[in-house]
Homo-oligomer: A and B are copies of this chain.
Amino acid sequence: MSPTKQKLLSTASKTFSKYGFYKTSMDEIAKSARKAKGSLYYHFNSKELLFREVVLSELTFLKEELTLIFENHDADSREIIRAYMIKRMEVMNISINYQETLRPEFYEFYEFLNDVILEMDQWEKQQITEILNRGVVKEELDLPGNIEVYAEMLLIFLKGLETPLFLKGQYERLISNFDNLIGILTKGISKV
């Protein structure tokens, strides 16, 4: 990737995450990057496609980080879940643009993003399902019924941690009590 494209992409990422998709203008991105607006369109065709690339790069990073956790096959599944949750929160705290894609208006108007997000959602669900399965097999967890549903529930719960109220300003205060919450959850799914 050319230095100009690189610069534009990283500037776009920062600006989008600060003001959101709609409140960010192409002009502002170009100015912040000290590049011409035309260059933005040369490298990324449209605002939407630029945003898509920004989100993609965030998700790529998120996947990489989470994969490191999942690969640790030997650890107690409860411990893996715990590590996964903490890592996810950490990365999410800086994956603000991905979060924005969860807004309703993105669903109404931009099919060009659904594929990226759905793929990520499915990937995550798959990974967690696998861990839960391992935990059940190793008799560390007690999950009657469909395990996929538990995975979905965990994801829903984790998405709660993405809310700005939490991420903005309160992150530091709450992270310290995070173990408590995880304790409740793991106790809730543990074999007695």
Contacts and interface: CB of A to CB of B under 8 A. Distances in A.
Contacts of A145: 180
Interface residues of A, number: 49
Interchain residue pairs A-B with the least CB separation, the first 5: A160-B160, A188-B188, A184-B188, A20-B105, A22-B22
A44 to B, nearest CB: 16
Contacts of A163: 102, 156, 159-160, 162
Contacts of A161: 156, 160
A22 B153 CA distance: 30
B180 A153 contact: yes
A129 B81 CA distance: 27
Contacts of A166: 156, 159
B105 A103 contact: no
